[in-house]
């Protein structure tokens, strides 16, 4: 298959244990070549890489309700993707409160210096470009894996025009994240926010490097449109728990910042929705809670773990008085032997309704929350033992997702 042609979506069962296949970044497009073409499909997904070619990818829904919690979820809507010291402390929910009105100029002044253009090459030849976020004063830059994966040589162009060679510290294809590092002074690390403190309708500002154009990052304004979206960029790449925004996200903005009305990072721009008529004005960002977990692991160890619970399950529903049905948790259908779930005493018939105090109504929510945690980390589940009606806390030491 031509690497610039879309991959067909597979409706078969899939597993996060398989590494995603992401199309190569497009050829770098110098400023004199600002045109692009979009290869999109009905209900499709595209990676927003550099200027030039954007790859359209089909999207579908897995009709099999059983999914392993170490598996990537399917999705019901169209989507498309869009490149240490300690970062600023995450604020509390009260501190995170959205402003009553958005001052876009103030957000730009705060955020633009923290966003870079990532230029990707191999063998001295340019391959494409994307965006990145200055994560800390040690020069670590977080971007998307699909921005860097085809390259062997990287440069970071800062908003003030400074350029530095960058080294690849590590990648995590499962979450489509990567970390680069530059040696530089006078950096402006991003301020870490919280997606958990947001509500639908809160201001959202996207900052990235459209088309790889010179002159620094650009800023677009919108709102948080939805939470917990599931994005499939091809048959094996499944991103979960994504933020949805109508803030325009342009090609070359992969790895850019999605911030709240106070300029605090809430996600990394990764995908946009497309259809047969083109990009639909629906953008998606990986939540900052996943970003920080993965980035910190890569900075510390050079790689990121993938937590594995080890159950097969499906969303549990109860009937409502008016004849409807309501999701109330995840019903465990089977437990893999030798896994974290078995060691914690989980059994078929149990229903999981919370993870570390966060409500879980669906299988997709459980998978998304697990992405925030590392292997060997201890979590607490609220579990109703099969048929008992009694909810009890269960501590689980998460395992490492098997490489199958």
CB atoms within 10 A of CB 87: 25
Query: Which H or E run contains 38?
Result: strand 37-39
Sign of torsion, CA 341 347 353 356? negative
DSSP 47: E
DSSP 300: H
- Tell me which of 114, 136, 140, 146 is the catalytic residue: 146
DSSP 60: -
- Tell me which of 209, 253, 254, 331 is the catalytic residue: 254
Is residue 254 annotated as part of the catalytic site, yes or no? Answer: yes
Distances (CA, A) of 287 to 55, 69, 248, 258: 23, 19, 17, 9
CB atoms within 10 A of CB 197: 19
Is residue 373 annotated as part of the catalytic site, yes or no? Answer: no
Please enumerate in sequence order all residues whose Cβ is within 8 A of that of 209, keeping only pairs 6 or more positions apart, or say none.
115, 116, 117, 118, 129, 130, 131, 157, 216, 217, 218, 252, 253, 256
Query: Which H or E run contains 313?
Result: strand 311-319
CA distance 142 to 297: 12
- Tell me which of 16, 62, 172, 176 is the catalytic residue: 176
CB-neighbour burial class of residue 324 (10 A; exposed 0-12, middle 13-18, buried 19+): exposed
Is residue 140 annotated as part of the catalytic site, yes or no? Answer: no
Question: What are the catalytic residues?
Answer: 146, 176, 254
């Amino acid at each position: 298959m031509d690497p610039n042609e879309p991959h067909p979506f597979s409706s078969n069962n899939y597993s996060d244990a398989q590494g995603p296949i992401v199309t190569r970044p497009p050829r770098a497009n110098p400023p004199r070549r600002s045109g692009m073409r979009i290869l999109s499909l009905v209900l499709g997904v595209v990676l927003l890489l550099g200027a030039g070619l954007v790859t359209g990818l089909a999207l579908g829904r897995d009709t099999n309700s059983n999914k392993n919690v170490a598996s990537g979820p399917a999705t019901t809507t169209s989507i498309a993707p869009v490149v240490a010291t300690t970062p600023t402390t995450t604020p509390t929910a009260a501190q995170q409160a959205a402003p009553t009105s958005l001052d876009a100029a103030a957000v730009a002044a705060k955020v633009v210096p923290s966003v870079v253009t990532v230029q990707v090459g191999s063998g001295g030849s340019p391959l494409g470009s994307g965006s990145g976020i200055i994560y800390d004063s040690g020069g670590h830059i977080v971007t998307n894996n699909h921005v860097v994966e085809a390259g062997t040589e990287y440069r970071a162009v800062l908003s003030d025009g400074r350029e530095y060679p960058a080294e690849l510290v590590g990648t995590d294809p499962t979450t489509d994240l990567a970390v680069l590092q530059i040696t530089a002074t006078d950096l402006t690390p991003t301020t870490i926010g919280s997606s958990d403190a947001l509500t639908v309708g809160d201001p959202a500002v996207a900052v990235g490097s459209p088309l790889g154009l010179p002159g620094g990052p650009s800023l677009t304004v919108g709102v948080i449109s939805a939470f917990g979206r599931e994005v499939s960029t091809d048959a094996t790449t499944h991103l979960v728990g994504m933020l949805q925004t109508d803030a325009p996200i342009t090609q070359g903005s992969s790895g850019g910042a999605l911030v709240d009305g106070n300029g605090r990072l809430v996600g990394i721009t990764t995908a946009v929705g497309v259809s047969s008529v083109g990009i639909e004005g629906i953008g998606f960002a990986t939540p900052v809670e996943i970003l920080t977990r993965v980035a910190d692991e890569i900075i510390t160890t050079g790689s990121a773990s993938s937590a594995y619970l080890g159950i097969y399950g499906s969303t549990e529903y109860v009937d409502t008085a008016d004849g409807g049905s309501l999701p109330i948790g995840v019903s465990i259908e089977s437990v893999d032997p030798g896994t974290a779930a078995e060691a914690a005493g989980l059994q078929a018939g149990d229903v999981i309704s919370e993870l570390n105090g966060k409500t879980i109504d669906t299988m997709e929510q459980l998978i998304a929350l697990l992405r925030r945690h590392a292997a060997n980390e201890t979590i607490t589940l609220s579990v109703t033992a099969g048929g008992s009606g009694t909810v009890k806390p269960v501590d689980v030491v998460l395992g490492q997702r098997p490489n199958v």
